[in-house]
Amino acid sequence: MRAVILLSLLVAFISTINCQWSTVQQTQRGLPVQQISLVKTIGFTPNTLNNRFILQNDISRSRIPFPQCISSEQSQVLLNPSTLQKLLHQKLQEEERKLKQERVRNDGLKNNDIMDFDAIQLRADALNGALVARAATKVSAEIMSQLGCETNSTLTERIDRFLRRVRLPPSLCAFNTNPDCSGFTRFRTITGVCNNLERPYEGSSQTAYTRLLPAAYDDGISKPRSRSVLGGPLPACRQISVTMSSKPVFDTSFNNLFVGYGQFLVHDISLATPVTDSGRTPVSSCSCSSQDHDMCTIMEISSNDPFMAGQKCMTMPATAQAFTDQQCTLGVKDQMNGNSHYIDLSVTYGSTKKTAVGLRAGRDGFLKTAKKSWSKFEIPPGQREGKSCTDSTETQKCFAGGDSRLMENVLLSGIQAQWLRIHNLFAKKMAEIHPEWKNNDDVLYDETKKISSALHQRYTYDFWLPILIGKQATQQYTGDSGLFSRYDPNVRGVVINEAVTAALRLHTLVRDLYTRCTPQAKLIDQVWLHDILAKSKLAYDGANNGVDSLLCGALYDYGFAGDANFGQDIHHRLFETTTKTGEVKRHDIVAINICRAREHGIPGYNAFRELCGLRRASRFEDFADTMGPANAAKLQSIYDHPEDVDLFIGMNHENHVPGGLVGPVSACIIGTQFRNLKYGDRLFYKHEGQFTPEQLTAINKYTYNCFICHSTDIEKVALNPFKPPNDQTNPLGLCSECPAFDFNSWR
């Protein structure tokens, strides 16, 4: 029955494809324009689809340069609507079969960590959007293969332009009709839908990242970047990682709270959604022998690896796919952002209706919390289903939150706890000044959420970003001259693939040891990062004040310097586990960052030098304008050509911009990202019309140190909480002297 329904949906393919393939231009410099004239739509009988359509691939024939290959006689047969219908139907069936097999496997392993892909707010969930997008990419790759097209990473943009002429049937597209946004002009939707009223799905959860440069896939479609421009293979991800040092030094200009808040912020705007089975649990079959790069990312490990000898590979699910610009067409692979793209505290409130409703208390605008006798403040509630930590028990459950990575480390959990506490404190105050709202849970929730999100945006742009890219670059990309800023609907408030896959992967700053201290800032102890990674034990350590002890320690701990050194715990011992047979399994964040960027089709470092106004290097010595000679020589010892250097690795070898922790290419990408997320966000807190001048003044006066004082069991906090305390430049202030948030302008 499902096949019959699917076939009826595909019938619409004829009308959507007919006459869309009239002309294809050859854009290679110096070559004449090529045109193709496809055959007219042929007759279609649904019964013809009952026979499985199989294309014959003669791998012995010579490849034909693109786009000449699409002007052949075979293209006129392959690219007619009826044939394309059959091919799409075949790929959908194949991909759905794989996901059902994954579901059986996960059931056997009792894996039930369901990703939240419910019927999204204001959007129809037509089949599984990621499944349809992946099938469309498979069709695209099959077309190029069957036409004998000679493709490579330099042709991706032109191939994509050609393929995107073919739209999928409307019934297969979740973005076919625009939602009614009339009731969502003042408050954010949970999903981010209706932020841009002209393009209402832009920036919403479960939509594709955008790009600064065209993707670079080996086949021009979807195969991860793996070839040197000189023809040989790129060095393996783990092989590159091993050449990076694990002897970091401290940087006294920022503290560990700055690092933790950065992780919280990146989780707020981005979730590289993993491929899931038919029950929406991440796939678990990835192994060293996995071949489907659209399902799994495999990182090979050398037999003589100094830290992982005996472990053949590292694996992880590939990132789920999504349609570029919410246009359901054939085309080059793009990846899905599972969270709302905006800086909106979705990490706290959720990015889907199901998650958001599950986190609300259902009264007085409150969020759910848990109360423990040993804690001055409440803590996040326990999960009712799924398992985001490895040591959960009935009395010490993993925390629930708006993002599934809440328990990646307990410091991150503590930052989440702060925002929960502030939300409920503010909701209570709003009810006091507006007694008429006492029984209106939705109004109190939305009004409070709007203020909390504004504070999060302010602390990000006024405190966090200037430390990362420097005050000069922050002003260049995001600065304003007056009290208010202005929204620009032409700016795309969408997360950039290159930013979250490389530039904002700030793992070189992550330290190995985390301090815990009392509310009076007396040292309790130091714990290893691997003791708080995906573990809840210390979050419930009542004798030592739970998450608040780590929040206290983060104010005093220096961060590691921004360079090519990485802490041991994330470099060689990430998520370390021991199997039932005694085999130790480890991961490596550096290798993961390199391989994920290749999987996402991120071009090399050299391309972004040119994008950011630097000269494109033809020799490694040409990198001298962004890094020292020793670092350039190190890259030459790893790679065969400057074009081969991975973006993440190149950026971590750069000299820092003035007053920042990153180099010029990093600052360029990060600055562009935060400019877009400011001016492309209709509901950004500083934009005209979001708050009155008096309300905006109250938000600006509520300092981050007082926010911490009002949400953490601590007695003193430095003036700039992202920097270590210093008697002369960053003195400690008593929390007892912190003024409360001024709600008078909300009366």
With beta carbons less than 8 A apart as the criterion, state whether 310 and 301 touch: no
CA distance 538 to 542: 8
CA distance 149 to 140: 12
CA distance 229 to 31: 23
Amino acid identity at 196: N
Q: What angle do CA 107, 113, 116 make, to 5 degrees?
A: 120
CA distance 554 to 545: 14
The residues, ordered by sequence, that sit 6+ positions from 151 with a Cβ below 8 Å of its Cβ are 66, 144, 159, 219, 220, 221
CA distance 93 to 88: 9
> Which residue has tokens 């209570």?
428
CA distance 54 to 211: 34
With beta carbons less than 8 A apart as the criterion, state whether 564 and 652 touch: yes
CA distance 436 to 443: 10
With beta carbons less than 8 A apart as the criterion, state whether 206 and 273 touch: yes
Query: Could you give the 3-state DSSP secondary structure of residue 670?
Result: helix
The distance of Cα 430 from the centroid of its chain, to the nearest Å, equals 33
Buried b / exposed e across 357-388, counting CB within 10 Å, b at 16+? Answer: ebbbeeebbbbbbbeeeebebbbbbbbeebeb
Buried b / exposed e across 558-590, counting CB within 10 Å, b at 16+? Answer: bbbbbbbbbbbbbbbbbbeeeeeeeeeebbbbb
> Is 507 among the annotated ligand-binding positions?
yes
With beta carbons less than 8 A apart as the criterion, state whether 174 and 133 touch: no
Query: Could you give the 3-state DSSP secondary structure of residue 476?
Result: helix
> Which residue has tokens 């919390």?
369
> Which residue has tokens 């960590």?
113
With beta carbons less than 8 A apart as the criterion, state whether 106 and 112 touch: yes
The residues, ordered by sequence, that sit 6+ positions from 170 with a Cβ below 8 Å of its Cβ are 12, 16, 176
Residue 240 is inside which H or E element, if any? helix 237-243
With beta carbons less than 8 A apart as the criterion, state whether 162 and 24 touch: yes
With beta carbons less than 8 A apart as the criterion, state whether 263 and 94 touch: no
Strands annotated E in 363-521 = 513-517
Q: ω into residue 317 within 30 of 0, thus cis?
A: no
C-alpha closest to that of 54 among 150, 146, 137? 146
> Which residue has tokens 């500083």?
686
Amino acid identity at 132: V
CA distance 496 to 333: 15
With beta carbons less than 8 A apart as the criterion, state whether 647 and 608 touch: yes
Cβ atoms within 10 Å of 523's Cβ, excluding its own: 12
Helices (H), 400-461: 410-433, 441-459
Cβ atoms within 10 Å of 544's Cβ, excluding its own: 16
> Residue positions in the annotated binding site?
507
> Residue positions in the annotated binding site for heme b?
507
